Amino acid sequence: MAVSKAPRFSSKLAMILTCMGMAVGTGNIWRFPREVAKNGGGSFLIPWILALVLWSIPLLMVELGIGKKTRKGPHGAFRAVLGKRWAWMGGFISACAMLIMCYYAVVTGWTFKYLVEALRGTLYGLDADQTHAIYTGMRGSLTALVFHVIAIAVAGHFVFGGARGIERINKVLIPGLILILVFGAIKSLMLAGSGGGIDYLFHVDTERLSQGSHWLAGFTQSAWSTGAGWGLMLAYAVYAREQDDPVTTPVATGFGNNFIEIMVGLMIFPAVFAIMGQEGVNFIATSNGTGGIAFEVTPLLMSKMPGGSTMLILFFIGLASAALTSLIAMVELSTRFFMDYQIERKKALWISLLLCLVVGAPSALNNSIFDNQDFVWGLGLMLSGLFLTVLVWKVGPTRFYNEFFERDGKGNHFWFVGLMALVTVETVLLLGWWLWSESGKGGITWQCVIQWSVLIGVLIFLERFAKPEKFQAASD
């Protein structure tokens, strides 16, 4: 397997911060509080933490090991490791993340738009009806399309710089995001009546732990918030240094991701209890699914806090930062996908940006299309995670541990074999539960199956007729 001459990240810290930028996105800020509110506060944290250790981190380790070993994107990596017959699985991982990229750029555009409005002061002092009207009026509008284009341009600018450009922006935005969230948490904790929010966030209701849906919610949040199974860590691993360990970086990324979510919880729930009381929890739990907490609830809360206008600006700086760093990772993966077809990096990037613009435009203009794509390809990530476990089992967990983690027979590999068995079972259960639970909701399950099947069919067809020389990856 030829060694790529791709540039490398400058340090271990740079690698960790960049991978945290990949993992930390808008879902950490608006989905985590909603799931906590829906699942009984601190009771939710137990399955959420266990899922990090028993599902998310192992998959991130697998991704980093594959990417560092092959120095290719998911499609090229699967072809290099398993051969032509199984390459479509890597293609599905790449395509799934690329399709998410197309509508995630729309979400990133929303955060940019709200940051502009926060700077103008138009979000401060509004009531619930006004914040709802602004949010619903923006979605599916020409304004959303304009900011979709802006988000693509900004992300493309940093990906154009390659490893150095990606590293530099993450080294600024991720520490900045952490500082903003810590400051916001401190401000919330200083409010009179905030203690109820702390109690709610960390109090464990043992009865909920006996409910299967409670555990599935925790595992799902970890799966979607860490980026495990997306192929993004695999794409960034192309830039890993030889001395970067495939175990420690995913561990640091995973726990860093969860730390940020705890800071979000400490910023939101104390403020909710101080300003809205217990009914505020119900308000969060029933908020608009995609972004309701960020775009409707947060302006209400911060309008009633001391220094709220400044806090609102800082919040949307943080939200836009989280969205942008995740979008950058998706654009990089897409670029790497086309580079694996011997397309020069600059051209591959332009193709990725054009794809994002054209395929994402309908989601910017139509809420129904956005919601459909969000569900179909968001759930498709579970299938992507399953395909990663297939690669491990095809290679053999012991061989994978020794060769891809560069252990050369040193150390105990049995923990990894056990984790892979557990991850495989967990992934099948998660995917099956989601498909079953949504089966009665207007045929959405069949929409998933049909769209996945079409994509897989196209990938298998292309793989069958592709010429082998087309899979010698272009250089950076």
Q: Is 440's pLDDT higher than 80?
A: no
| CA separation, residue 360 to residues 112, 148, 151, 453 (Å) | 16, 8, 11, 21
Query: Regarding predicted confidence, which is higher, 126 or 322?
Result: 322
Q: Is 291's pLDDT higher than 80?
A: no
pLDDT, position 288: 59
Find tokens 């051969």 and name the residue.
83
pLDDT, position 473: 59
pLDDT, position 60: 97
pLDDT, position 150: 98
Cα gap 238→337, rounded to integer Å: 12
**Per residue in 310-334, is it b (16+ CB within 10 Å) or e — as a string?**
ebbbbbbbbbbbbbbbbbbbbbbbb
Tokens describing residue 314: 């800082």
Q: Is 476's pLDDT higher than 80?
A: no
Stretch 263-283: mean pLDDT: 85
pLDDT, position 475: 64
Q: Please give the mean pLDDT across all residues of the chain.
A: 90
SS3 353: helix
Q: What is the pLDDT of residues 225-244, one digit of tens each?
A: 999 999 999 999 999 998 88
| CA separation, residue 466 to residues 74, 340, 345, 470 (Å) | 17, 12, 20, 7
pLDDT, position 5: 64
Q: Is 465's pLDDT higher than 90?
A: no
Query: Regarding predicted confidence, which is higher, 408 or 221?
Result: 221
What is the CATH code for 12-471?
1.20.1740.10
pLDDT, position 206: 86
Which sequence spans correspond to the domains of the chain?
A: 12-471
Sign of the alpha-carbon dihedral angle for 395, 401, 258, 432: positive
Q: What is the pLDDT of residues 55-99, one digit of tens each?
A: 999 999 999 999 999 999 999 999 999 998 999 999 999 999 999
pLDDT, position 126: 85
Radius of gyration (C-alpha) of the chain in whole angstroms: 21
CB-neighbour burial class of residue 242 (10 A; exposed 0-12, middle 13-18, buried 19+)? exposed
